[in-house]
Amino acid sequence: MQTRANSFLKVFPNPYMKLDGFGNPAGAFAVDPTHDPGRSFVGATIDKVDILDTLKEGDLRSPRQDIYYKFDLNEPTLLPPTAYYVDALRCGYLFPADEETARKVSVEFRSKHDFLQDACKSARKLWKEMYMEECPLPAYKKPSDEFVVDSFASTDKKVEVKK
C-alpha cells in the first residue's frame, strides 16, 4: 500500500550545478511556485547579497548584485513527483537522497558525497574550459568521521562543519 509520505521525492540541491563569477557554488534551483509559493529554492536559501552599484532616478533596471547561497545538505527536501521536479532530477539540478526516489525518476542512485564530489569536479572542469584558468573553487573533500556536512554556504571556505 502506498502512503502519502512515500509518494514524495526525497532530494538534495546540487550546489555545483552553477558557479558564480567568483567560482562560488550558485546552483540554487527555484521551487515550482504552483506547489510551494512560500519558498524560493529547493534546499537552499540566500545567505548574503552584495549590492555592486546604485541606481539613478529613472533607472528601469535592478542594481547589479552578487548573491551567495546556503545549501542544506543534511536533511533532504520532500517534493511532489511533478514533471518539473522529475526533470530537475534527471538534469542534475537536484539529486536523489534515497534509492526509492532514484528509481521513481529513473536515475542512478549514488551516495551524497560521491554525487557532490563528481558534481564539483565537473564544475571545476567546465570553469577551466570556459575561462582558461584554474577554478578558484577548491576540490570537494568527503568529510571525515569527525565532521558532518550540515549546510554549505557559498561564502564558506570549507564544506566541512564541526559536530
Per-residue pLDDT tens digits for 108-127: 999 999 999 999 999 999 99
Place of cell 564539483: 120
pLDDT of 37 reads: 72
d(CA 102, CA 99): 5
pLDDT of 140 reads: 87
Residue 34 — very low, low, confident or very high, per pLDDT cuts 50/70/90? confident
d(CA 52, CA 60): 16
CA count, 13 A, side-chain hemisphere, 102 = 13
